[in-house]
Structure 1
Amino acid sequence: MPDADSMKDVFISYAHDDSREVVKQLTQELQTMGLDVWQDDISMSLGDSIRESIDEGFSNSRYGIVVCSESYFEGTSEWEFNGLVKKHIKEGDVILPLLHGVDHSYVFDHSPSLADLVSETITEDNVESVATSIYRVVNEDDRESDVWGEGEDGSLFQSVDIRFQGNFQPNIGDKITITSWRNHNAPSLNQLEATEILDENGVEYPSSSKGTVMTIDTIEEPLECVVSDIQTLRSGRAEFTVRIRKSRLEELSDDPSDYRML
């Protein structure tokens, strides 16, 4: 059993045949929210055991996301899902079922015990709201039904476009900290020019940009964020998108007088 520091936040158990694309989107969304994700890509065949797969996932993760689909139920037995539910109850409501391409009655026909767990429906159109529900459960450690199974309106995070002049080469999913920035359109925070970045290992990347008069926000706490998209990466310049908690951005002043000129 791995120690707590090495465990993932969630694992995702799903059938490759009919859930690959939606799981790909969900994984990226969870990663841009800062969660560590472990995927279990199942190709069901004679003798495969979902329960064994789930057990392995739980040994490496705090929570398990089970994507219920037609392919996921092929070749499995009710006793496997009974074991899954027992694990869920024993370990304290740690399984988060998602329905993809099937409804509750379909799940009930194949596994009444699994259907008894609170679930949410996931499609390619609501991945962000489902990811928000998962994020709330993992980070607030709140396993009540008013957090899971009711759905969420909107995201907890906002996308911000970042420009950086300097030798910084981010990857999607990287956790970074923006310790200072310039902002052409203060107090709008949709586009920023970062002037100093720390990567997740604490390595500092100062900007080489100089001389342009812009507004700059002086902050007491840096902006912690996750890289969600890459536009341009070349020597001495990076343009990318990050996800930042909306509540963190809302803490920043919208009064232009609180910003100073370089």
Structure 2
Amino acid sequence: MDSGTENTDGKDVFISYSHSDSKEIAKLLGQELSSMGVEVWLDDIKMSIGSSIRESIDDGLTQSEYGVVILSESYFEGTSEWELNGLVEKHTNEEDVILPLWHGVDHDYVYQQSPSLADLIAEEIDKKNVQTVAASIYQIVEDRGGDNDEWGGDIGGGQKTDFIDIDIRFQGRFDPEVGKEVTVESWRNHNAPNLTALEATEIRDEDREIDYTSSSKGTIMTVKRIDDEPLNGIISDIQEIRSGKTEFTIRVEESRLEELSDDRDDYKSGFVQ
């Protein structure tokens, strides 16, 4: 996702967290964001007594547009109120660049540590809602420069972007890589309009700018090849790679699928009655 700045090496977001109790959730969040096309940098500083959270976030925001701060019990350990209030000051002065998340803590706990930090709009995060939180962050990044109305589950009228995973089968040479952007330029689908798995006939690797064409010609009784409904997404998983065959998953905005026709005749071959 284009950072919208002159720093072409910058990231969309960086994630600051405590290695003691939030490393796993931070990694999952980073993976979800990457599979949505968000450029992520995970803060590699181990928060401990004497660590400067303010300095860490200052450094992160010089290379990223937004800072996602996962607040947990161990995140507060050894952190001064001055440090925590500094986050609020940075958030206010730099127009909502910090997106707080509560992991294993609630408003009362955060308030006891820092009343000013507790006043910032935050979302709770755990293993069950990582993708939903990632979608909220995606929306903020996509609407870069606007108000963060989508942030916080109980405020604002913004509608979060939803994603759906589509399993892709491809017959021929192709080198998929998780996190890479691809466009399925043409495809065959045996279960239209329920698009959950399809056979790609042409794939565009957007990062490498390479086009791949399937060696499979299909059969006379198969559904017809769809050439005018490209599907763009990020590779989120790889099931199998072997000579002449690849199976992987791409994550696509659900709104794109809603644009596809519901008429089975638009997908069926004329040979199928």
Q: Shorter-chain TM-score: which interval?
A: over 0.9
Is the counterpart of residue 169 in structure 1 residue 175 in structure 2?
yes
Is 1:16 matched with 2:19? yes
- In 2, the alpha carbon distance for the partners of 1:216 and 1:154 equals 34
The one-letter amino acid paired with 2:162 is: L
The residue aligned with 1:233 is: 241
CA-CA distance at 1:16 after TM superposition: 1.0
The 1:101/1:218 distance shift into structure 2, 3 A limit, reads same
Shift in Å, 1:114: 1.4
Instruction: Output the aligned Cα RMSD.
Output: 2.0
Query: 3-12 or 102-111, which moves further after superposition?
Result: 3-12
Q: 2:254 and 2:119 mapped to 1: Cα distance?
A: 34
1:188 to 184, 191, 194: 194
% same residue: 57
Structure 1 window deviating more from structure 2 (57-66 vs 219-228): it is: 219-228
Partner of 1:244: 252
Which structure is higher in strand share?
Answer: 1
* Deviation (angstroms), 1:260: 5.2
Note closer, same or farther for the CA distance 1:21–1:5 as it changes in structure 2 (3 Å cut): same
Tell me if 1:160 matches 2:163.
no
Instruction: Give 1:182 deviation, angstroms.
Output: 1.1
CA-CA distance at 1:238 after TM superposition: 0.7
Whether 1:256 aligns to 2:260 is no
Deviations 1:2-56 (A, max 9, x none): 8343321111000111011111211111111111111103322343101111001
Q: 2:150, 2:160 within 8 Å by CA — same for their partners in 1?
A: no
Corresponding residue of 1:27 = 30
Structure 2: state its 5+ residue gaps. Answer: none
Residues 12, 40 of structure 1: 8 Å contact kept: yes
Find the counterpart in structure 2 of residue 224 from structure 1: 232
What amino acid maps onto 2:193 in structure 1? Answer: P
Partner of 2:147: 143
User: Structure 1 residues 68 and 211, CA, compared in 2 at 3 Å: closer, same or farther?
Assistant: closer
Alignment correspondent of 2:213: 206
Q: Is the 2:186–2:229 Cα contact (8 Å) retained in structure 1?
A: no
What one-letter code is carried by the residue in structure 2 that aligns with 1:59?
Answer: T
Distance in 1 (CA, whole Å) between partners of 2:227 and 2:91 is 43
For residues 15-94 of structure 1, the aligned pairs below 5 Å read: 15-94=18-97
Offset at residue 119 of structure 1 (A): 0.4
SS at structure 2 position matched to 1:125: helix
Helix, strand or coil: the match of 1:42? coil
CA separation in 2, counterparts of 1:143 and 1:154?
14
- The residue matched to 2:184 in structure 1 has which SS? strand
What is the letter of the counterpart of residue 74 of structure 2?
S
1:114 is the counterpart of 2:131:
no
How far did residue 221 of structure 1 move?
A: 5.2
Give, in whole Å, the separation in 2 of the partners of 1:219 and 1:195.
9
